[in-house]
Amino acid sequence: MTDIRYGNEQQHPLTVDYRQAQSRPLTGRDRPLGLDSDPGRWPHPSTLTFDQSVQVGRASASVRETLGAELGAWFGAEHRRLSAEHDRLAREAAEEGRGRIVASSEALRRQQRARYHADAWANLLSVDVAGVQEIRYGVGG
């Protein structure tokens, strides 16, 4: 179990703004929990133990920001891919006279799961990830 003692250690800042820290490529030993370079393969933060969560949270600002940048790139690509897939399905349905697909496509459900995954990791890393928090707070779109 991880000992938490307040005030006796220099802690990393709780929140890292995007591009605040010097980002660098992460090697295997730099990655907390040995996280894969594909954020889609990361376990959901709710499945981590307390010690694992602390290990991620105590990573240096540059490590957390690099992971946040990877997360943002992955989420952006997933969002664009799944949006295009949904648009294609909706177009095909309209052309075939099956009506409109509004919110029921599998692509939209996968897009929502990707957003929840990215949002949970952004919270655990305490980083602002472009495209994730904007959706949560209803800003932009």
The Cα–Cα gap between 31 and 28 comes to: 5
- Find the radius of gyration of the CA atoms of the chain: 18
- Top-confidence residue, 140 or 38: 38
Tell me what pLDDT residue 102 has.
60
Q: Which amino acid is at 116?
A: Y
Alpha helices, DSSP H only, in 12-126? Answer: 50-57, 61-95, 106-125
The Cα–Cα gap between 54 and 104 comes to: 37
Please calculate the CA angle 141-36-132 and round it to the nearest 5 degrees.
15
Cβ proximity of 31 and 71 under 8 Å:
no
What percent of the chain is modeled with pLDDT above 70? 70
Q: Which amino acid is at 79?
A: H
- Evaluate if pTM is beyond 0.95: no
> Tell me, what DSSP letter sits at residue 98?
S
Token pair listed for 1: 């179990």
Residue 15 binned pLDDT confidence (cut-offs 50, 70, 90): low
Which residues sit opposite 16 in a β-bridge?
127
**Model pLDDT for residues 19-73, shown as the tens digit of each residue:** 555 556 777 778 888 898 899 999 999 999 999 999 998 888 888 888 888 898 8
The Cα–Cα gap between 108 and 102 comes to: 9
Q: Which amino acid is at 136?
A: R
